[in-house]
Each structure stands twice: as C-alpha cells, then as structure tokens.
Amino acid sequence: MKTKIYIFNPLLRKTAVKITGIVIGNDADDICGRYTGLSLKKNYISKTSSLNESFKIMDMKRLFIALGCLLFLYSFTETKKITIYSIGDSTMCDYDQRYLNGFGGDNYPIRGWMQMMPQFFTEEVVIKNMARSGRSSKSFREEGYWQKTIDQVMPGDYVFIMFGPNDEKDDSLRHTDPHSTYRQNLINYISETRAKKVYPYFSPL
C-alpha cells in the first residue's frame, strides 16, 4: 500500500515525522478518540483504525508534483534588488571623467568613498550616489538635489546621509548652526525618508 500523507491538529502531542507542516502518523484511533475538534471535516474520517485510510489528503507522488510546480514557478520570480541612495558632499560623491581630466586623468588620486562601494557588493545591490561636492545639509536641499532623491526612492530602499564639513563654512548659502539648523536639517532628512518607508543611515565618516 502506498505511504499516505496526513494532516491533523498540531496540538496533538504524539510522536510523528513532520514534513513542512504535514505529518505522517500511525494511530488513527488514538487521534480520533482524543481529538474530536479537528480542523478536518468529518467526511475525511473513516471508521477504520488504519491511518492509511483516515485523514487521506494526498500521496507522496502528488506531493512531489506540487513541490515541483512551486519550484518551477519560483524560478521565474525576479529577486528584488537592494537600492542604496547616498546624499552628502565631496567625501562621498562620484568624480566623473571630466573632473579627473582637469587634474591629469584617471590616475589623479581622488574618489568619493561611496563611489568605490559597488566593488564590495554583489549585483543584487544597486548604489545611486546622489552626493554633490561642496554641499551642506542646507544647500543640498535648497539646490534641489534632495527633491530629486526623495522622488526616486521606493519602500525598502536605503538612504545614507553624510553632511558636516561644508556646514561649517561662513557663507550664508551653506552655513548652519550645529545646535539648531544643522540638527533640524538632519531630522528633516530622517523624517521624510521614513515617511516613504525607506531606511535612513548616518555615515560616521
């Protein structure tokens, strides 16, 4: 006789072999005798004492066919990539070829740290470096760079935030006070990021 697969109340404290929530047992009378409130309908329960005839759900062949179908469908499911956005200043930003050419080409020793990060991740991680050289927590927003960033982010993305050096500048376009405007700017970035179900992170660099 074929081995059958049976489902019964998980509260049953009886030795059995579990297969992802499906259980193989061998004592139908004891199950029926002790548990009258099983979730299975009554017409699934026969009068025989053989578990091979009671609680019959599917045989092994059908189970493996079902699992095979699930695996087949899963193979066509695209894995969602992780996207990291970064906002900050020259220590973080990308330096393009035009910039490097002005200083002698590719060998000029300057790169933003986020520019170098893709080499440390797999292709499942996408980095969108929105940082701009010379910007502070104030000017990055006022020049429209933050709006371009927050318009792109999607729930589950990450935003790395790093400002500070240019907030110390004396000019009114960039200067912020560390105890008031600088603090508030960072709070605003966090609040607006979280509002879109995105994860904000401060960079310690």
The more confidently predicted of residues 98 and 63 is 98
CATH assignment of the domain containing 123 = 3.40.50.1110
pLDDT at 57 over 80: no
Domain-terminating residue out of 48, 74, 100: 74
Contact 5, 63 (CB under 8 A): yes
Q: Are residues 65 and 118 in the same domain?
A: no
pLDDT at 86 over 90: yes
Domain-terminating residue out of 74, 96, 121: 74
* Residue ranges making up the domain that contains 97: 82-202
Q: How long a stretch of residues is the chain?
A: 205
**Number of folded domains in the chain?**
2
Q: Are residues 39 and 130 in the same domain?
A: no
Mean pLDDT along residues 135-154: 97
Residue in the structure block whose two tokens are 């893709």: 118
Helix (H, G, I), strand (E, B) or coil at 129: strand
Q: Are residues 114 and 197 in the same domain?
A: yes
pLDDT at 168 over 50: yes
For the ranges 3-17, 36-50, 94-108, the one whose mean pLDDT is highest:
94-108
The whole model's pTM is what? 0.61
Q: Are residues 56 and 115 in the same domain?
A: no
Helix (H, G, I), strand (E, B) or coil at 97: helix
How is the beta sheet containing 158-162 ordered, strand by strand? 125-129, 82-88, 158-162, 199-202
Q: Are residues 107 and 196 in the same domain?
A: yes
Strands annotated E in the chain: 4-6, 17-19, 22-24, 56-59, 82-88, 125-129, 158-162, 199-202
Q: Are residues 151 and 105 in the same domain?
A: yes
Q: Are residues 9 and 51 in the same domain?
A: yes
Q: Write the CB contacts of 176 (distance below 8 Å, at least 6 apart in sequence).
A: 136, 137, 138, 167, 182, 185
Q: Are residues 31 and 130 in the same domain?
A: no
Q: What is the CA radius of gyration of the chain?
A: 30
List the one residue out of 20, 25, 31 whose CA is nearest residue 66. Answer: 20
Q: Are residues 120 and 25 in the same domain?
A: no
Q: Grade residue 20 by pLDDT with cuts at 50, 70 and 90.
A: very low
